[in-house]
Amino acid sequence: MSAKRYLFYISQNYSYAILRPLQSAILARGEQIAWFLEGKEVDSKFLTADECQLMSVEEIKNYNPVAVFYPANIAPTFLPGINVAIFHGFDAGKVDKKGNNDHFKIRNCFELYCTQGPSTTEPFLVFAKQYNHFKVTETGWCALDRLYLEHKNMSENKPTILLCSTFSKKLSCAPHLFETVKKLSQLSKWNWLVQFHPKMPVEIVNQYKSIQNDNLSFVETDDVIPLLQKADVMVCDTSSVLIMFLLLGKPVVTYKNIAPKNHLLDIDNVDLLEQSIETALQQPPRLMEHIKDFINITHPYNDGKSSIRVLNAVEEVLSGKVSLGNKPIDFFRQFKMRKKLKYWRL
């Protein structure tokens, strides 16, 4: 029996870190994997020498994967193989212009959703029953396998604070916290690491780069996991990266989170930042209990085997034991996908 072929379809640099644990699991089974990079926001320089890149839809068709993995909300439906939704992050409570949660939206693109934990699985199971053209399997998020398998806090003598922020002007904490972070970084109490979403406006990036000192470093990376492991406390806003940090059982201080819950230390005044970080570093028992409860409903898998569960879920669909209806054709969305890929054949 020939080895199965799989495809990773990505459009953002952060997708490399999401999918590489899954790549390791695929290769460990003696199966094949290739990458397809779509658009101008993903850079091929992050591919390693032994990773295979396909350059066109024609090459994908010749490669003929049994499944295509997407850390995205939208996917072309005219490629070979089943489409598998991996997710590019957790539900951070963000809503679209109509007030709908963007994380829970069916776009008729996928045969399989590999969900992260009960809080993600349950809404998608409702949709699966309603639509009947995709399977939902709770696997845990493959992106986090390394988080647990390699987890070690590498903090130095003084605590490390990780500042992360989304790029949205309405939701970003970065502009508001700049002066306070600048002042706190000069006190030498803590080490600061600053890492922003790749779409962060360049003027804000340059602003933070300008205040780098012995206690503050601005980090540009496609892989945030080592930073999560190194830090003791995160300062954030509504970016879904804060969820990954919480899953390590470590506290997060948020500035004007859009839906603050009791597992966060949320502030709406920059003057409270220093005090809130001090509180977080003490890991108060009640806060830590709330974080534990959050982990149980969000991502209870800390065994580093989510990638294996993803592949098993794909096998189940490919086996034919899962009965799925036909996906409705979204002509407008798929027309845009074809236009983007410059592919018009059937």
In the chain, where does the domain assigned CATH 3.40.50.2000 lie?
152-298
- 237-284: per-residue pLDDT in tens? 998 899 999 999 999 999 999 989 999 999 999 999 999 999 999 999
Rounded to whole angstroms, the Cα distance separating 2 from 307 reads 21
Range in 51-55, 67-71, 85-89, 340-344 with the lowest mean pLDDT: 340-344
Taken in order 255, 225, 70, 343, the sign of the CA dihedral is: positive
32 has which bridge partners?
5
Pairing of β 160-165 and β 53-54: unpaired
The architecture in CATH of the region 152-298 reads 3-Layer(aba) Sandwich (3.40)
Tell me what pLDDT residue 153 has: 54
3-class DSSP state for residue 125? helix
Query: Are 313 and 124 within 8 A, CB to CB?
Result: no
Tell me what pLDDT residue 93 has: 65
Pairing of β 191-196 and β 216-218: parallel
Q: Considering only the C-alpha atoms of the chain, give the largest distance between any 2 of them, rounded to a whole number of Å.
A: 64
Query: Are 88 and 14 within 8 A, CB to CB?
Result: yes
Query: Are 253 and 245 within 8 A, CB to CB?
Result: no
The architecture in CATH of the region 5-141+301-341 reads 3-Layer(aba) Sandwich (3.40)
- pTM score, two decimals? 0.83
Q: Of all residues in the chain, what percent carry a pLDDT higher than 90?
A: 75
Mean pLDDT, residues 184-200: 93
The dihedrals phi and psi of 194, each to the nearest 5 degrees, come to: -120, 125
